[in-house]
Amino acid sequence: MNHISIDCVIFGFNNNELKVLLLHLKYSKEYSLPGGFLKYDETLEQAAQRIVRERTGLDKLFLKQFKVFSDPERSKSNKAILDADMAGSKPDKTFFDKRFISVGFYSLVDFRKVKPTPDLFSDRCDWVSLNEDVSMLLDHKQIIQEAISTLRLQLNQQPIGLKLLPRKFTMPELQTLYETILGRDLDRRNFQRKMLNYNILDKLKERKTGGAHKSPYLYSFNMERYQKALEDGLSGIW
């Protein structure tokens, strides 16, 4: 199905920064999202899983469709660079002579569990901070922007954080994650009230130790209620 490709935006959270897993292309020196073409006997979801596994070594991610990118000119823009990267590597080269649409998927992963693995066309697989302005293939920069917009809207309707935070975390750590995704500061008391209202946190008996200040409480997600909120949307909105 050479008309249909998939691109995956894989988010991780580290050092209070939101990062994206990107492949660094050997010849063009540009970054690219992990992506590939749909095979004839796959669903898009299966293809996305396969691509992420092949290109990054990650298995069984929760990947979510967010948008199809279909500008007829999108696959022409960087044709020379694509040709260079694909040169001598299977007949795949001709894929890029034709128009193809790309279905965007995104995923949130546990930064510490990932072993980035480059593929045939790339010399590195890097976590790149969203604050870094790197050069990117085709419309991949736009695809990342749309994924972030989707993530921001998702904060209003679904829980987030399970794969992005350690198992035990403080309320300020959770708030920092939200602030990083939203790109703005939030009111501390208002945030805490809303989060507790959603009823997806367990307050632990232990507190965080080692800080200079009064030790903050630790929380973890209540898996059963977290899962339910993922499916039904957050409670307490209506």
Q: Is the dihedral of CA 106, 1, 122, 71 positive or negative?
A: negative
Residue with tokens 């020379």: 80
Helix, strand, coil percentages in the chain from 3-state DSSP, rounded to 5: 35, 25, 40
Determine if 157 is a binding residue for a second copy (CB under 8 A).
Answer: yes
Least spacing, CB of residue 216 vs a second copy, in Å = 21
> Residue 104: which residues within 8 A CB-CB, separation 6 or more?
7, 8, 9, 65, 66, 67, 68, 69, 143, 146, 147
Least spacing, CB of residue 17 vs a second copy, in Å = 20
One residue of 27, 37, 127, 178 binding a second copy per CB under 8 A: 178
One residue of 128, 155, 162, 204 binding a second copy per CB under 8 A: 155
Q: How far apart are CA 189 and CA 235, in angstroms?
A: 19
Interface of this chain with a second copy, residues 218 to 237, rule: CB under 8 A:
233-234, 237
Question: Cα–chain-centroid distance for residue 69?
Answer: 17
One residue of 29, 152, 167, 188 binding a second copy per CB under 8 A: 152
- Site stretch for a second copy (CB under 8 A), options 95-103, 123-131, 135-143, 198-206: 95-103
* Helical (H) or strand (E) element with 187: none
Binding site for a second copy (CB under 8 A): 1, 3-4, 38, 40-45, 65, 67-68, 70-72, 99, 101, 103, 152-153, 155-157, 178, 182, 186, 190-191, 194, 233-234, 237-238
